[in-house]
């Protein structure tokens, strides 16, 4: 292995998106638990649809739109203030248990970066709030090209931060659609299969698979 850069997806890979549950349950009780998964589902779907149509909105706006749609789909009432308060929980997502230790160790021997659909400001705040900023060399907004992952244009943004070749970059994500996109783009990929789910049948597959980032560290002998 001749990897020089380890590129990580952020939401669901380093940060646990289920961390929105407290805010959702605070307003909606048991319905808030259902809201968490619906919100994440439509957040992703809205990014893909806007990439396809060319009707771009940034990730923060899409996150709020998906939240409103999910609330309304559940037949719940909301105000602008409520939506803004719950949406802010995306800035305070907790890191998965092993992430801080693993990133600190990997950062000794590799350049490390986040490659996220998030806006530059939200990525920066979320990474800082999760106390991961000292172990990441670069924070890359994949949507800077006006589309979202898994568009090839989104992965192109990585090369504004490194002169390394595709062969020198290992892309890491817990989202199999992201792994498919990065693999199709030409990266070697590591799928963090935290939920022990089957891989989506989209074509390209991960080169490596592990249950968490400790398995990545073993692979890289870091």
Domains of the chain: 5-16+93-220 (3.40.50.1000), 17-91 (1.10.150.240)
The string of pLDDT tens digits covering residues 62-110 is: 999 999 999 999 999 999 999 999 999 999 999 999 999 999 999 999 9
203 or 67, which is more confident?
Answer: 67
Whole-number pLDDT of residue 188: 98
Annotated catalytic residues are 9
Q: Which single residue is written with the structure tokens 């939506």? A: 83
| CA 76 distance to own-chain centroid | 27
Q: What is the mean pLDDT of the chain?
A: 96
**pLDDT of 222 over the 80 cut:** no
Whole-number pLDDT of residue 96: 98
For a pLDDT cut of 70, what percent of the chain falls above it?
100
Average pLDDT estimate for 30-50: 97
The string of pLDDT tens digits covering residues 171-195 is: 999 999 999 999 999 999 999 999 8
Q: Which single residue is written with the structure tokens 């998030």? A: 118
**Residue 41 confidence class, pLDDT cut points 50, 70, 90:** very high
For a pLDDT cut of 90, what percent of the chain falls above it?
94
Distance separating alpha carbons of residues 146 and 127, to the nearest angstrom: 22
- Cβ pair 50, 146 in contact under 8 A: no
In terms of Cα–Cα distance, which of 171, 110, 132, 102 is closest to 15?
Answer: 132
- Cβ pair 33, 146 in contact under 8 A: no
In terms of Cα–Cα distance, which of 63, 48, 54, 60 is closest to 177?
Answer: 48
**pLDDT of 221 over the 80 cut:** yes
- For 54-58, the CB contacts below 8 A with 24+ separation are 56/143, 56/146, 56/147, 58/119, 58/143
Average pLDDT estimate for 25-45: 97
Q: Is the dihedral of CA 54, 162, 216, 12 positive or negative?
A: negative
Distance separating alpha carbons of residues 8 and 160, to the nearest angstrom: 16
């Amino acid at each position: 292995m001749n990897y020089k850069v380890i590129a990580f997806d952020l939401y669901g890979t380093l940060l646990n998106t289920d961390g929105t549950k407290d805010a959702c349950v605070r307003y909606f009780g048991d319905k808030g638990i259902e809201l968490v998964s619906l919100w994440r589902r439509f957040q992703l779907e809205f990014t893909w649809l806007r990439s396809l149509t060319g009707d771009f909105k940034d990730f923060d706006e899409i996150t709020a739109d998906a939240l409103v749609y999910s609330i309304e789909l559940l037949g719940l009432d909301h105000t602008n203030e409520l939506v803004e308060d719950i949406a802010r929980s995306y800035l305070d997502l907790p890191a998965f248990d092993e992430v801080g230790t693993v990133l600190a160790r990997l950062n000794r021997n590799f350049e490390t970066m986040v490659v996220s659909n998030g806006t530059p400001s939200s990525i920066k705040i979320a990474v800082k709030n999760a106390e991961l900023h000292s172990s990441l060399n670069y924070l890359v907004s994949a949507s800077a090209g006006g589309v979202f992952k898994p568009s090839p244009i989104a992965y192109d943004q990585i090369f504004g931060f490194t002169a390394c070749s595709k062969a020198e970059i290992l892309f890491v994500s817990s989202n199999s659609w992201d792994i498919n996109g990065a693999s199709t783009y030409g990266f070697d990929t590591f799928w963090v299969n935290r939920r022990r789910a089957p891989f989506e049948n989209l074509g390209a597959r991960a080169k490596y698979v592990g249950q968490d980032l400790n398995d990545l560290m073993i692979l890289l002998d870091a």
